[in-house]
Structure 1
Amino acid sequence: MRWFKTLLWTLAFFVAVLFAIQNRSDVTLRFVFPIENYQWFEIPQTPIPLFLIIFCSIFLGVLIGVGGDIGRRYRLKKTLRQNQKTIERLEREVQSIRIPDLDQPSFLKKEV
């Protein structure tokens, strides 16, 4: 399984290199709003390789996705902890309500 994973990563690396070689043309970024009209905010109009823009976009998308996933996992763990505390509290309450001398049926007895 480890060699398969290594093979898969190697293949992905070569595909990325081939992609970068095929998309070497330079592009100039232009924004939707005319930012260059503002004196305090100046963007140099230097050409950037297309593959670099695509890779950075993919990287930012992955970062945003990971950030959202981490937030969701945190909320789920918090809910899980709250539910576990509620279960423990309810189990203690059930134990305090039970009559200890009453003979219980076998299916209600807790195995220890």
Structure 2
Amino acid sequence: MRLLKTVFVTLFFIAAITFAIKNQESVSLQYYFINDEVWTMPLFLLVFISILLGILVAGFGGVFTGFKLKQEIKRQQKTILELEDELNSLRNLPIMESKQPYE
């Protein structure tokens, strides 16, 4: 498994390096809220920055979801303990015979 991971990471870096070498043309970036400024950068840098920002946003979303799930687990465990206590108390009740015959 470790060998497979190493091969995959190596191939990924080789692909990234060859992408960077082949895409060195400059591109200009202009956005709606940036009126007069035009940023110029190599295409590969723009792609790598976009990928990095996507990874960061997804990572923060994953961390937020993880915290919510941990809170839900704690709440569910508390409910389970309460229900188990109730079940044990019901099991320990003495059995009473009914005075009415079955219908």
TM-score normalised by the shorter chain: which range applies? 0.7 to 0.9
> Per-residue deviation at 1:61?
0.6
Gaps of 5+ in 1: 37-42, 103-112
Counterpart AA for 2:27: V
Q: Offset at 1:100?
A: 5.9
User: Which of 47, 63, 66 lines up with 2:59 in the alignment?
Assistant: 66
2:91 match? 98
Distance 1:31 1:58 in 2: 18
* Aligned counterparts of 2:67 and 2:34: Cα–Cα separation in 1: 40
Paired with 2:39 and 2:67, the residues of 1 have a C-alpha distance of 41
> CA 1:46/1:71 → structure 2, altered by over 3 Å: closer, same or farther?
closer
* Distance 1:13-1:97 versus aligned 2 partners, 3 A rule: same
Q: Distance in 2 between matches of 1:11 and 1:67?
A: 27
The residue identity in structure 1 corresponding to 2:49 is C
Offset of 1:11 from its aligned partner?
0.5
Matches within 5 A, 1:1-80: 1-33=1-33, 35-36=35-36, 43=37, 45=38, 47-80=40-73
Percent of pairs identical after alignment? Answer: 39
1 or 2, which has the higher strand percentage? 2
Q: Which has the higher contact order (CA 8 A, sep 6+)?
A: 1
TM-score for both structures, normalised by structure 2: 0.81
What do you get for the CA RMSD once the two structures are aligned? 1.8
Per-residue CA deviations over 1:12-64 (Å, capped at 9, x if unaligned) read 0000000001110011211124522xxxxxx4x45211100110001001111
TM-score where L is the length of structure 1: 0.75
What is the number of equivalent residue pairs in this alignment? 95
Partners of 2:23 and 2:94 in 1: CA distance: 81
Gapped runs of 5+ residues in structure 2? 96-103
